């Protein structure tokens, strides 16, 4: 996610500092910046955008699935957002942010 990386660098944030602000690990922020993970909870997306002082919706777009609750996702290379699996969402709610793709 090139845009996220640019904002992190422009705002002089470390991945650890951004993770602390958003309540997630440095590793989770790394996964978002590398594209390994493309989704997060709506609240985490809001906190990341708040920390980086960007308008809501700049980095993450809300996605609603008929089966799943609302999530936020960065755009995948195809331009289509990815969804996070139910088990990954449950893990995220417990604070154990797992890679969404490993649970798909």
Q: Residue 47 maps to which CATH number?
A: 1.10.260.40
Average pLDDT for residues 16-25, to the nearest whole number?
A: 97
Determine, yes or no, domain membership for 102: no
Write down the mean pLDDT value for the chain: 75
**Predicted local confidence at residue 64, as pLDDT:** 72
- R_g of the chain, CA atoms, integer Å: 13
- Whether 70 shows a pLDDT value over 60: the answer reads no
Per-residue pLDDT, averaged over 8-23, amounts to 96
Counted domains in the chain:
1
Instruction: Identify the CA nearest to 40 among candidates 104, 100, 102, 103.
Output: 100
Residue 104 lies in a domain: no
Residue spans of beta strands (DSSP E) within the chain: 39-40, 61-63, 71-73
pLDDT given at position 35: 92
100 in any annotated domain: no
Q: Alpha-carbon torsion 33, 54, 16, 84, what sign?
A: negative
Per the domain annotation, does 101 fall within a domain?
A: no
Write out the residue range of the structural domain in which residue 73 sits.
Answer: 2-95
The verdict on residue 103 lying in a domain is no
pTM assigned to the model = 0.63
């Amino acid at each position: 996610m090139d845009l996220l990386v640019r904002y992190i660098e422009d705002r002089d944030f470390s991945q650890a500092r951004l993770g602390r602000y958003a309540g997630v690990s440095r590793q989770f922020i790394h996964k978002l910046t590398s594209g390994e993970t493309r989704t997060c909870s709506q609240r985490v997306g809001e906190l990341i955008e708040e920390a980086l002082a960007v308008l809501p919706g700049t980095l993450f777009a809300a996605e609603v699935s008929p089966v799943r609750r609302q999530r936020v996702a960065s755009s995948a290379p195809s331009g289509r957002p990815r969804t996070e699996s139910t088990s990954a969402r449950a893990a995220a709610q417990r604070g154990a942010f797992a890679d969404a793709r490993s649970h798909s």
